[in-house]
Amino acid sequence: MVNQIVKAEALMNKVYEADVFVFLPMRRKWYGEPLLGWLQSRCMTTSKRVQDRSKRKRVHDLEIVTEKWKIVSKVMGVMEVLKQEVEMVIPVRNLEQYRTRINLPKPYKISEFLLKSPKLFELYKDQRGVLWCGMTKEAEDLLEEQERLVEEHSDKAAEYVTRCLMMSTDKQLRMDKIAHFRRDFGLPMDFRTKWVHKYPELFRVVKSGDGEDYLKLVSWKPAWAITELEKKILGATEISVHEPGLLSLPFLLKFPPNYKKLVYRYGGKIEHFQKRSYLSPYADARGLTAGSLEFDKRAVAIMHELLSFTIDKRLVTDHLTHFRREFVMPQKLMRLLLKHAGIFYVSERGKRFSVFLTEAYEGQELIEKGPLVVWKENFLSLVGYRGKKKKIETFCDLADGEHENLIDNDSEKECISMQLECDEIMDDIENSLLVDNDAMEVGELGSACKDSDRS
């Protein structure tokens, strides 16, 4: 027994050094259960994760939107690979090396995935029996239309990239990080090699000491240092002389109907947050104290601004976390997104989470649709189908038996369709609670959701 106590005390010293229990009550008896099991259970129950949110508090419409664009993203990935080929055709087996880029995990078969969009992809065999993939005329026409729309959107995309540089601390961003926003901002595929050199008056590519390519701001644009929120609420337009500073504008809140009890319970904290002044995303924030209320509200403003730049008013949360240091945002970014459910909605579908700007949506539809959004909707209407498999043509008179086994008999059951995927386990966002009495905590939000479900 003495040895057990000594071991427990030694382990506790290490735990205290790691600050795991800074905010946890010390009320558990040490001898009733193994210490390691106690540690695991406590750490698990104190995690504040997206999955901890009540299923009834998920916004079904936005979850459906996530599923739609996940499929579109996969299909677009294949089309971009084909577009880079000389004849825009490729052996299906060669697509295996692009699984990560397409985001099509095993054991799903690429050939089966392609067969589900016969209006976009054509499969055929050559004389040696090798299966090839190409695009239909309809798909090629869609790509041409997209290129035209992206070109028309180019100046606006350049403005958004410039404004991102203006928000960054060093007025420069790594090129590979900007690449994460390529589709979201409507940038062309050749943005690294050609597009970035089209606007020398705005930005230029520089090499860092470690050999990395950075995009650096060339000149500050005062007219662009006005947030999208200022434009929307105040009707502010581009001003030639504008100095960003403190803002006191409330964010537009849009809670789902099933959040009424939660909003009623925490209305005071929400109102207090809305009234608090904060520093403009375009102002220098290096003097702010990390973890302060002003620091967190400015981070909310930055995320609001970034989402406003995107075509679909949504981003993969991973892409936001890449810019913590450059935009002076908190380490626990997911916690902040979850706390402000009236401004953002986090979808947990798949391995990568998505965050929506709630004010931009009405049900499943974007309120304001640009040309690229309309194009995506037309594209989506051609993705996927239900029914009999399309026959795979060949260049020679092959016997029917030679390609009967191309697809397994049970492949219909394995095909990828627009269905909700299994929830993936995400690492704990954090094990301690933020000390913030003026804003609603995620823990409070979760418990309120459960209370609401019971009533």
Contacts of 398 (CB under 8 A, 6+ apart): 125, 129
What does DSSP assign to residue 348? -
Overall average pLDDT of the 268-293 stretch: 88
- In which element (H, E) is residue 246 found? strand 246-247
Q: What is the mean pLDDT of residues 218-247?
A: 82
CA distance 142 to 300: 36
What lies within 8 Å, CB to CB, of 54 at 6+ separation is 446, 449, 450, 452, 453
Q: Over 90: is that where the pLDDT of 238 sits? A: no
3-state secondary structure of 76: helix
Confidence of residue 237 (pLDDT cuts 50, 70, 90): low
- Reported pTM: 0.74
Residue 26: what pLDDT?
40
| Digit-coded pLDDT (tens) for 149-181 | 999 999 999 999 999 999 999 999 999 999 999
Return the closest-CA partner of residue 278 out of 302, 248, 306. 248
**Mean of all residue pLDDT scores within the chain:** 77
The two beta strands, 278-279 and 246-247, are antiparallel
Q: Among 92-96, 124-128, 388-392, where is mean pLDDT lowest?
A: 388-392
Chain centroid to CA 117: 25
pLDDT of 419 above 50: no
Q: What is the mean pLDDT of residues 187-209?
A: 93
- What mean pLDDT is predicted for residues 183-212? 92
Q: What is the pLDDT of residue 102?
A: 87
pLDDT band at 315 (very low <50, low <70, confident <90, very high): very high
User: End-to-end CA distance of the chain, in Å?
Assistant: 47
| Mean per-residue pLDDT, 134-162 | 95
* pLDDT of residue 112 exceeding 50: yes
Residue 119 has pLDDT above 50, yes or no: yes
Structure tokens at 321: 């976390």
Domain ranges (residues) in the chain: 1-46
Is 223:238 a contact under the CB 8 Å cutoff?
Answer: yes
DSSP-derived pairing of the beta strands 172-174 and 344-347: unpaired
Please spell the DSSP secondary structure of 176-230, one letter per residue.
HHHGGGHHHHT--TTTTTTGGGS-TTTEEEEE-TTS-EEEEE-S--GGG-S-HHH
What was the pLDDT predicted at 268?
87
Q: What percent of the chain has pLDDT over 70?
A: 70
Q: Are 116 and 417 in contact (CB under 8 A)?
A: yes
DSSP state of 97: G
Q: Are 81 and 95 in contact (CB under 8 A)?
A: yes
> What DSSP designation does 24 have?
S
Q: What is the pLDDT of residue 403?
A: 35
pLDDT of 69 > 80? The answer is yes
Task: Check whether 230 has a pLDDT greater than 60.
Answer: yes
So what's the pLDDT on residue 426?
31
